[in-house]
Amino acid sequence: GIPKTITISSKEVQEAMKEPVELILQTIKQVLEETPPELSADIVDRGIVLSGGGALLRNLDKLIFKEMGLEVKVAENPLFCVVLGAGKALDEIEIFKDVMVEI
């Protein structure tokens, strides 16, 4: 069909993102539950850093803080962090294989 412009409200965007945001929260919780106690203590002390496209979702950091009680920082250049980190993890896959999770 012919392209057209539509206007959607922030409420509609929020509703559309509800399920993916819930999945993000569930995944954070799962990873924290499976994290060894010595690393969990560091996470509680230092917080977590959001990277990737999800880090750009408005107020996601505040929601994670509210739901998990963890300090949250958004990485500088969050989109590039994922690519660079994945490359480093693949270079050192033997070191990281025990902490990788499949979602």
Write down the mean pLDDT value for the chain.
90
Amino acid 90: pLDDT: 86
Amino acid 85: pLDDT: 85
Contacts of 62 (CB under 8 A, 6+ apart): 72
Q: For the whole prediction, is pTM greater than 0.85?
A: no
Q: Where are the alpha helices (DSSP H) in 1-103?
A: 10-34, 37-46, 60-68, 78-91, 93-96
Fold of domain 10-96? Nucleotidyltransferase; domain 5 (3.30.420)
Which residues of the chain fall short of a pLDDT of 50? none
Task: Encode pLDDT of 78-89 as tens digits.
Answer: 999 989 988 988
Which one, of 23, 28, 21, lies nearest residue 101 by Cα? 28
